[in-house]
């Protein structure tokens, strides 16, 4: 599997974890907090996987693309970290509107990162 194909696979896995996290926010069962903790760990691991593969690809890109990648990746990672710091699993169920607004920001940053990265992969593949 090429690095490009591997990164696309990892991006899809990242989207899947994000979708699972979004589903927990609508749950009211007792297990949701435990599941949230497990999924947040899974998200952190998946962000790490994406970063490892992407770093390899973008290390050889021109300076502008490399910087854009770092900006998008940092924005996505920071949004997730800030959300998790502000909304630990123990607070799941408190102030639902604020939680959803915060989670929406994370999903938006994730979507922007994934879209930009897929676009950049397409551009880099054309330039080979």
pLDDT tier, 96 (very low <50, low <70, confident <90, very high otherwise): confident
The mean of the pLDDT values for the chain is 93
pLDDT at 128 over 80: no
pLDDT tier, 3 (very low <50, low <70, confident <90, very high otherwise): very high
Q: Cα separation of 86 and 82, whole Å?
A: 6
pLDDT at 77 over 90: yes
Classified by CATH at the fold level, domain 3-126 comes out as 1.20.120
pLDDT at 24 over 90: no
Where do the structural domains in the chain lie, given as residue ranges? 3-126
């Amino acid at each position: 599997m090429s690095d490009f194909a591997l990164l696309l696979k990892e991006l899809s896995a990242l989207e899947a974890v994000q979708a699972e996290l979004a589903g927990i926010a609508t749950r009211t069962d007792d297990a949701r907090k435990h599941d949230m903790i497990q999924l947040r760990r899974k998200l952190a691991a998946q962000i790490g996987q994406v970063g490892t593969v992407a770093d390899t690809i973008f290390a050889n890109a021109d300076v502008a693309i490399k910087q854009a990648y770092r900006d998008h990746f940092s924005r996505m990672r920071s949004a997730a970290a800030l959300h998790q710091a502000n909304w630990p699993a123990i607070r799941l169920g408190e102030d639902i509107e604020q939680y959803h607004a915060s989670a929406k920001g994370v999903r938006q940053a994730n979507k922007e990162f994934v879209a930009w990265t897929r676009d950049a992969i397409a551009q880099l593949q054309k330039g080979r």
